[in-house]
Amino acid sequence: MTKQRLIIQPGELSLDDIRQIWHGNVLLELTESALADMAASSAIIQKIIQKGDAAYGINTGFGKLAQTRIPDDDLELLQKNLILSHSVGVGEALSEAVVRLVIALKVASLARGFSGIRPVVVQRLAEIYNAGVTPVIPAKGSVGASGDLAPLSHMTLTLIGEGDAFYQGERMSSKAALDKAGLEPVVLAAKEGLALINGTQVSTALALNGLFLSEILFKNAVLAGALSVDAAKGSDAPFDPRIHEIRGQPGQIYAAKLYRQLLKNSEIRNSHVENDTKVQDPYSLRCQPQVMGAIYDVMQQAMTTLLIESNAVTDNPLVFPGKDGEPDQVISGGNFHAEPVAFAADMLAMAIAEIGSLSERRVALLIDTSISGLPPFLVPSAGINSGFMIAHVTAAALASENKSLAHPASVDSLPTSANQEDHVSMATFAGRRLIEMAQNTATIVGIEMLCAAQGIDFHAPLRTSESLQKVMGEIREIAPFYSEDRYLAPDIEGITEAVLNAAVIKALPDLFTI
């Protein structure tokens, strides 16, 4: 596939731009104006050095060592030592998709021209991205304040020809990867190492990864939930627009519209409209617009925060050119503190956990013949067959795990750097744990799809709606009707993968644009 070029307009990345980066569909290109702004910012750093003034991170040590003055002849060595000493991450490497986001967000931030870094360095970082060289960035080791120092240092190792990287699926030394890609490592000048490793780009990339996964989960869960309504011969009356309009919550109104569209003209629903013996359905069916709508609204709030952060300048110190005769200034601040990202990731954790929690309750409902009216555990000849009995146990186990993982990371703080950095956000973990939570919830929703499809099939020859028949077709491509006990784990694995890669959603490509 020929990749399009994404021109980085500093401060103007859209969410669609970021999604394209996540999917690996674009190459990065910098504007001439961004190159000029970075050159002007870098020139200010050189003036400070020539003048001999002490400035944090330019000709001083770092953190608690800020009072230590560094001789001019050692400034390049200072930056290299900074990267080497801060590359202390541990754990598995971040995925290629997350690393793409990390690099692109760092390029976009530096390109705004407030970081005192030469254009050639940022261009080389973009070239590394474009060449498909993926720095090995260990997932653990950042507290989300003073920047994502350790993981961004591992990113920068590749830029300077140190550490490891992946190239064409193979792990090798960064120097070897650069050689294969036809690129040279760079030598960092004053302030440039600090500009590269200060910032919230890893936390933000992980949270964005969680956001995009949560969007996929939301859509799948709406499809699964609508199937479950028909499988359990539930009512569509709770989705009446009048109910939701008088409450006024926008996500709830949107979700109710989705369920109405999905259940429209279902033969199963029409078969029991007149003689429905149930006064009200359980909450997991009836209150889907209220719960899923609230989840949608929380996702939108997180999206707003993360889009702002994706375009932000978050390193330290920052370089401000003088205006109207005022002198140039280098100002130390705290934009590297990732509290906004931590809060956004915590909101996404709640959303992902609740998607799974509601889905698990519908699985429990469907296998309970006293509530659903379906055969026990959704299998003929229950007793000799156990059906979906233990599939529900798996869903329950994963939902319970998510409850623990959803605990707010942002309420934790552990001082670092000899108490200089005495309050931290834990945003990196807040974003990273969303990956495991999303995988858990994808399995729960997948199990619900299997159960709901089983319930729909029990109502034959009555058919569900035209929309849900398309969803059923995707599910049955993965797992046939469960007529007797069989090895069920491959079905669960297959449907989980279909949830995560949005295969089921593709059956209704226009639904979520209504």
Q: Residue 257 burial (CB < 10 Å; 0-12/13-18/19+)?
A: middle
Q: Which residue has the tokens 């429990």?
A: 364
* Gyration radius (Cα) of the chain, Å: 26
Assess contact for 70 and 56: CB atoms under 8 A. Answer: no
DSSP alpha helices (H): ranges in 148-287?
149-159, 174-181, 192-197, 201-231, 241-245, 250-263, 267-270, 283-286
Q: Give CA torsion, residues 117, 123, 125, 126, to 10 deg.
A: 140
First vs last Cα of the chain: how many Å apart? 30
Which of 97, 196, 208 has its CA nearest to residue 154? 196
**Which of 56, 129, 167, 482 is an active site residue?**
56
DSSP for 450-500? HHHHHHHHHTTTS---HHHHHHHHHHHHHS----S----HHHHHHHHHHHH
CA atoms of 220 and 415, how far apart (whole Å):
40
Distances (CA, A) of 408 to 112, 299, 420, 461: 32, 16, 24, 48
Is 487 catalytic? The answer is: no
CA atoms of 334 and 338, how far apart (whole Å):
9
Distances (CA, A) of 171 to 23, 133, 167, 181, 294: 21, 10, 6, 14, 43
What's 175's DSSP letter?
A: H
Which of 171, 117, 124, 78 has its CA nearest to residue 315? 117
CA atoms of 129 and 188, how far apart (whole Å):
18
SS3 annotation, 419-443: CCECCCCCHHHHHHHHHHHHHHHHH
Beta strand pairing call for 170-173 and 164-167: antiparallel
Type of residue at 327: P
Active site residues: 56
